[in-house]
Amino acid sequence: MNYSGKYTKLERELLMQRVQMQMSEKRFRHVLGVEETAIALAGKYGASLEKASIAALTHDYAKERSDDEFQLVIRRDQFDLDLLHWGNEIWHGLVGANFVQRELEIDDEEILQAIRVHTTGAAEMSLLDKIIYVADYIEPGRKFPGVEKAREIALINLDDAVAYETKHTLAHLVEKEVPIYPKTIETYNKWVAKK
Ligand code: GDP
Ligand code: FE
Ligand code: FE
Ligand code: FE
């Protein structure tokens, strides 16, 4: 894909290189899988293919940064200090968008927001938010029970795919007895819970 230059000064190949430098080969393959899936979903559901590509390539940009660096940025850039009680799972998207903005000079709010909510989802999600959230879950490299079903649903109805992913992610977190981030509960209440 050729980028327009509206959202990043970098060509796609250069953006890919900048992302690749930040992570393991395995995680980079995941990122490329998310990009492929996000572009397909954007085509199907009528979102910008370019924004889908950029958001997908950058969604896990900060995932391999140290806890120390995240804690420093949370304090320095006036994030809610409650975030300090959480960890990389929650930080790498929500705070990671800040690294993407500063280091890759991507300022498009829609792209940054899709990065912020890609892990937990949100009660209110834009089309691009949903595409990145779902693509992250169903990209070709993902292998877990239920992923085939998630892929099928994503081809039929994107909101249903958001609901399916949210329900199964929450069930998985409960099974592991890990702390549930409040935003994850908000996503569940909006997209899964029966009124
Ligand atoms: P990845 O970065 O491509 O591996 O995928 P995600 O960004 O979607 O998720 C990162 C990790 O965060 C996964 O292991 C999720 O299960 C986990 N996660 C998602 N929501 C929550 C939450 O509310 N609490 C905790 N503790 N972990 C979560
Ligand atoms: Fe992630
Ligand atoms: Fe995800
Ligand atoms: Fe990811």
Report if residue 55 sits inside a domain.
yes
Q: Is residue 116 part of a domain?
A: yes
Residue 84 located in a structural domain? yes
Within 6 Å (CB) of ligand 1, which residues are found?
30, 60, 63, 89, 93, 118-120, 136, 169, 173, 178-181, 184
Is residue 146 helix, strand or coil? coil
Residue 148 lies in a domain: no
User: pLDDT tens, 6-64?
Assistant: 999 999 999 999 999 999 999 999 999 999 999 999 999 999 999 999 999 999 999 99
Instruction: Specify the residue for token string 């590509």.
Output: 53
**pLDDT tens digits for 88-116?**
999 999 999 999 999 999 999 999 999 99
Ligand 1 atom closest to residue 179's alpha carbon, by position in its atom list: 26
Residue 89 maps to a domain: yes
Report the pLDDT value the prediction gives residue 145, as an integer from 0 to 100: 94
Q: Is residue 86 part of a domain?
A: yes
Q: Which domain holds residue 41?
A: 12-143
65 lies in some domain:
yes
CATH number at residue 47: 1.10.3210.10
Counting atoms of ligand 1 from 1, which one is nearest the CA of 184?
Answer: 23
Q: Which residues of 46-77 are buried (b: 16+ CB within 10 A; e: fewer)?
A: ebbebbbbbbbbbbbbbbebeeeebeebbeee
Rounded-to-integer distance, Cα 7 and Cα 166, Å: 29
117 within a domain of the structure (yes/no): yes
Tell which atom from ligand 1 comes closest to the C-alpha of 86: 26
pLDDT tens digit string along 56-80? 999 999 999 999 999 999 999 999 9
Domain count of the fold of the chain: 1
Measure 150 CA to ligand 3 centroid, in angstroms: 12
